[in-house]
A and B are shown apart, each in its own frame.
Chain A
Amino acid sequence: MLSHPATARKGNLVSAAGMSIAILGTLFLYRDGDIQLHNYTWIAGALLIGSVIGAVSARKVKMTAMPEMVSLFNGMGGLCAALISIVEFARLTPADSDLRLLASLAGMVIGSVSFTGSMIAYGKLSGKIKDHSFRGQHVFNLLVLAVILVLGAFLDTRSVGTPAVYFNIILVLAVIYGVLFVLPIGGADMPVVISLLNSFTGIATACGGFLYNNPVMLTGGILVGSAGAILTILMCKAMNRSLQNVLIGSFGKTAQAAGATGEHGAYKEISVSDAAMVMGYAHKVMIVPGYGLAVAQAQHACHDLEKLLRDKGVDVKYAIHPVAGRMPGHMNVLLAESDVSYDELLELEPANDQFPTTDVVLVLGANDVVNPAAENDPTSPIFGMPVLQAWKAKLVIVNKRSMRPGYAGIENELFFLPNTSMLFGDAKAVLQQLIAEIKEL
């Protein structure tokens, strides 16, 4: 049902209802042998507290802050999985099957990595934590991971007298690994990481399913695990990164090196009134929104501009790159929030078909997704990434805050093309000036 925007909401409600049934069913029907569940008051209290916190924070959050929120909720799920595994591990007896031991161990490791990783991702997305990396960090990361695996295997053989000690060491290492794993990753590469961590929590949930022999948890967990993995791979493809880069946690390093070699050419600037003039008298205008638009929270101003131009008889469309914004499809959510109609949003391929017949392309805070180097420079780190061919239009106006390269750290030759003009400034302020100017035309 999620495949259809119209029915997606119903699908979400159905799955929410399914979840409620699963929880109620567990509460009242679960039996282990003859023992029924007890501690109902505590469970009910926890459910209540959790519901209130969850619902309130979900209602309050701004649409632009959505990726942080999803990351935070994901971390909560990871923490839950890790805690369960810790409690269950303490209850394991030598008579239990290897599967249970393995499931609780894996659930604990994956859950903790997912929890601390998501917390760091949340901190970075909301700007509380800066990127951090030191020399040889990915070697160190791999080392930590290797130690976790070796200790895990050691524990599994049960040749040791006090497994709890090893279990605790692994727990600490997993927590540290989650931090180290996400810390060096650049802010704009975070979507891939969130999706990956989402998939991790799914797998941790599936481990819980094995632990309790519970098909609901197993199905839900594996479903999310595989869906998250596929989504991660799709995103990596759209950004032209290899998954290996993500797993080692050394995103963006190669890009930095490449950026240093870029040479600055000459670019032209355009004044707001000139930009307003050409847009007001154009036949067809294409808007390419990007991360900068989301940061400036300029989606409403953008929609106002679109309406104004349409009233003047200009054909206005949006060209949306699959990874525009901070999460895949995030840009669509932001534009939908400011009531931009669905007909106006073009995906990559239809947009590229239309660029040659477009008079003016307005690039708002997007950079790498319109970089021609992805198609004609085999040495570029983003070579092969599908991009919006904005340069095929008659005139390109690029709004950016400065000449700094985008998050891939590479120079964008689009800015130096003869048919490109730069319009510097905060996306929201520039859009408002444009609107005022066009009104006076």
Chain B
Amino acid sequence: METLLNFIQANLGQFYIVILSIFLGIEVISRVPSVLHTPLMSGANAIHGVIIIGSIIVMGEASADNYLALALGFIAVIVGTINVVGGFVVTDRMLEMFKNGKGTTSKQSKDK
């Protein structure tokens, strides 16, 4: 028990972030009308592409003779970028089509 408490104490900042983010996520979802759930899903999909930061760090820290890390990191950066760029472009394309709605749905979703 004590080790667990120490562990939480040591990483207090991270735990705060985790808890706040959970609430933020729930809050975000409950405000989005079901009309927009598909763009929301692909938008969320793009956001978790921040994993790319990790892959850049992996690449950047790997020493020049560590070929395994270099190769894996290289693939990781490529697929991570596909995730981020593809995700945002697809979401943008979808939302572009909703422009014609002239904001009438927002009224509908508020009425609910």
Contacts and interface: CB of A to CB of B under 8 A. Distances in A.
Interface in B82-99: 82-99
Nearest to B73: A87
B81 to A, nearest CB: 2
A350 B26 contact: no
B4 to A, nearest CB: 11
Contact of A77 (B72, B83, B95): B83
A39 B59 contact: yes
B50 A217 contact: yes
A51 interface: yes
B106 A4 contact: yes
Chain B: interface residue count, which band? 35 or more
Interface in A21-67: 22-23, 26-27, 30, 32, 35, 37-40, 42-43, 45-47, 49-51, 53-55, 57-59, 61, 63, 66
Chain B CB within 10 Å, residue with most, of A61, A213, A219, A320: A219
Interface residues of A, number: 113
Given A205-B51, A350-B108, A42 B70 contact: yes
Nearest to A38: B60
Given A15-B43, A337-B97, A345-B105, A80 B17 contact: no
B contact patch SS: helix
B18 interface: yes
A9 B26 contact: no
B60 A43 contact: yes
A230 interface: yes
A80 B83 contact: yes
Interface stretch (A248-256, A328-336, A367-375, A377-385): A328-336
Contact of B87 (A9, A73, A205): A73
Interface in A105-148: none
Contacts, number: 374
A225 B35 CA distance: 21
B101 A216 contact: no
Interface in A174-223: 194-195, 198, 201-202, 204-206, 208-223
Contacts of A30: 56-57, 60
Nearest to A86: B72
A434 interface: no
A8 B39 contact: yes
A58 B85 contact: yes
A86 B8 CA distance: 25
Contacts of B104: 341-343
Contacts of A328: 34, 37-38, 41
A9 B99 contact: yes
Given A225-B48, A327-B41, 17 more contacts: A26-B57, A51-B81, A51-B85, A54-B85, A58-B87, A69-B90, A70-B45, A80-B49, A219-B20, A220-B47, A222-B25, A223-B24, A223-B28, A228-B41, A230-B30, A231-B37, A347-B108
- Top 7 closest A-B pairs, CB basis? A50-B81, A37-B60, A226-B25, A54-B85, A342-B101, A54-B86, A329-B37
